[in-house]
Amino acid sequence: MRSRGIIFNIQRYSLQDGPGIRTTVFLKGCPLRCLWCHNPEGMAFTPEVATYENRCVACGECVAACPRALPNTAADHGEWCQVCGACVEACPTGARHRVGREITAEELLDELLKDRLFYDDSRGGVTFSGGEPLAQPEFLREMLDRCRRRGIHTAVDTSGLGAPEPLLALAPLVDLFLYDLKAFATETHRKCAGTGNELILDNLRALSRVHDRIWIRLPLVPGFNDAPAMLADTARFLSRLTGIAQVNLLPYHKMGRAKFERLGKPFALADVESPSPAALERVAQLFRAAGLTVKIGG
Segment 141-150, tens digit of pLDDT: 999 999 999 9
pLDDT for 78 equals 53
Give 83's pLDDT tier (boundaries 50, 70, 90). confident
**Per-residue pLDDT at 74:** 43
Confidence at residue 251, expressed as pLDDT on a 0 to 100 scale: 96
Predicted pLDDT of residue 261: 87
Which CATH number characterizes residue 179's domain? 3.20.20.70
Lowest mean pLDDT among 88-102, 185-199, 283-297: 88-102
Residues 187-233 pLDDT 10s: 999 999 999 999 999 999 999 999 999 999 999 999 999 999 999 99
Q: Please state, in angstroms and rounded to a whole number, the distance separating the CA atoms of residues 147 and 74.
A: 41
Q: What's the half-sphere exposure (Cβ side, CA atoms, 13 Å) at 110?
A: 5
* Together in a domain, 39 and 79: no
Whether residues 86 and 227 share a domain: the answer is: no
14 and 120 in one domain? yes
210 and 140 share one domain = yes
- The mean predicted confidence, pLDDT, of the chain is 92
Q: How far is residue 130 CA from its own chain's centroid?
A: 4
1 falls in which pLDDT band (50, 70, 90)? very low
Q: Which of 59, 79, 99 is at the close of a domain?
A: 99
- Cα separation, 114 vs 156, whole angstroms: 20
Residues 57 and 200 in one domain: no
CA pair distance 76, 57, nearest whole angstrom: 15
Q: What is the CATH number of the domain that holds 78?
A: 3.30.70.20
Last residue of a domain, one of 99, 122, 140: 99
User: Of 56, 71, 99, which residue is a domain's last?
Assistant: 99
pLDDT for residue 70 is more than 60? no
> Which residue segment(s) compose the domain that 81 sits in?
48-99
232-289: pLDDT as tens digits: 999 999 999 999 999 999 999 988 898 898 888 899 999 999 999 999 999 999 999 9
* pLDDT tier at 66, thresholds 50, 70, 90: confident
User: Do 95 and 194 belong to one domain?
Assistant: no
How far, in Å, CA of 216 to CA of 244, rounded?
7
Looking at the fold, whether 147 and 13 belong to one and the same domain comes out as yes
Strand-pair category, 48-51 with 96-99: antiparallel
Query: CB–CB of 112/9 below 8 Å?
Result: no
Query: What local confidence, expressed as pLDDT, does residue 69 receive?
Result: 63
**How would residue 163 be classed by pLDDT, with cut points 50, 70 and 90?**
very high
Same domain, 262 and 185: yes
Q: What is the mean pLDDT of residues 121-135?
A: 97
Same domain, 166 and 258: yes
Residue 209 and residue 197 in one domain? yes
CA angle 180, 222, 155 (to 5 degrees): 15
Question: What does the pLDDT read at residue 264?
Answer: 84
What integer pLDDT is reported at residue 75 of this predicted model?
46
Sequence-distant (≥ 6) Cβ neighbours of residue 120 within 8 angstroms: none
Cα–Cα nearest to 65, from 42, 49, 54, 47? 49
Domain co-membership, 33 together with 172: yes
Q: How many domains does the chain have?
A: 2
| Same domain assignment for residues 140 and 256 | yes
The number of residues making up the chain comes to: 298
